[in-house]
Amino acid sequence: MTRLAAHATAALLLAGLCGQGRQASLLTFSRQVTPRVPPTADFAAVREELDRIAPGGQTSVMDGVYAALTGPLARTEPPLVLVCTDGTDTSSWLDPREVLEAAKRSNAVIYAVTTADARLLTPLADLAHATGGQVLPVKSSAELSTTFRRILQEFRSRYILTYTPTGVRAGGSHVIDIRIKRRGLVVRARPGYVGLEPGS
């Protein structure tokens, strides 16, 4: 089994565990970003298309993430962007800083599952951190099912907290520091938000 095929196998598991009322879409990013399946509740169609994916060519990770952040599913609350890659970015047109700004302004949560050396994935790690997600390295296909179950469990365990800030300027980036009193718990959250400019 190729690395990409192993990722696809785990993606099938993720799709199969999603509850009713949810939708999924699929795109691939080699030399260019290719939409495979538009947003749909038909997970069988997603599984069929996954089976057709053949690994090879270049890797446009940043372009692919940006397409996911700005696509139709990006309007759901909040979308899960799941990035599966077995290599580092080699052919994206977009600057990682542009994609990072788009991620900060989105409601998406980005998780990445990769067989690449995590030390070479700094831009992807920055995206995941900015959205409250993670980059999860795997060393073998045997780890994939456990990893994808972990992602799904974490995503389903999320809470959306809202508040109205006072005494801060409108617009610009703002840092959020979340602390909990109970020991032994780990909270993963966005490290900040981008405020709206007046009149926007």
Residue segments in the chain with a per-residue pLDDT below the cut of 70? 1-20, 76, 118, 196-200
Say what the pLDDT of residue 1 is: 41
Q: Which long-range contacts (CB under 8 A, 24 or more apart) does 165-170 make?
A: 165/195, 168/195, 169/195, 170/195, 170/196, 170/197, 170/198
Say what the pLDDT of residue 130 is: 94
Strands 80-85 and 109-114, sheet pairing: parallel
Query: What pLDDT, in 10s, does the model give residues 9-36?
Result: 666 556 655 666 778 888 999 888 999 9
Say what the pLDDT of residue 65 is: 96
State if pTM tops 0.95: no
CA distance 133 to 113: 11
- Torsions phi, psi of 100, nearest 5? -65, -40
- Torsions phi, psi of 75, nearest 5? -90, 0
CA-CA-CA-CA torsion for 61, 71, 126, 19, nearest 10 degrees? -100
Q: Report the candidate in 15, 7, 104 with the shortest Cα–Cα distance to residue 59.
A: 7
Q: Which domains does the chain have, with CATH numbers?
A: 3-156 (3.40.50.410)
Say what the pLDDT of residue 173 is: 79
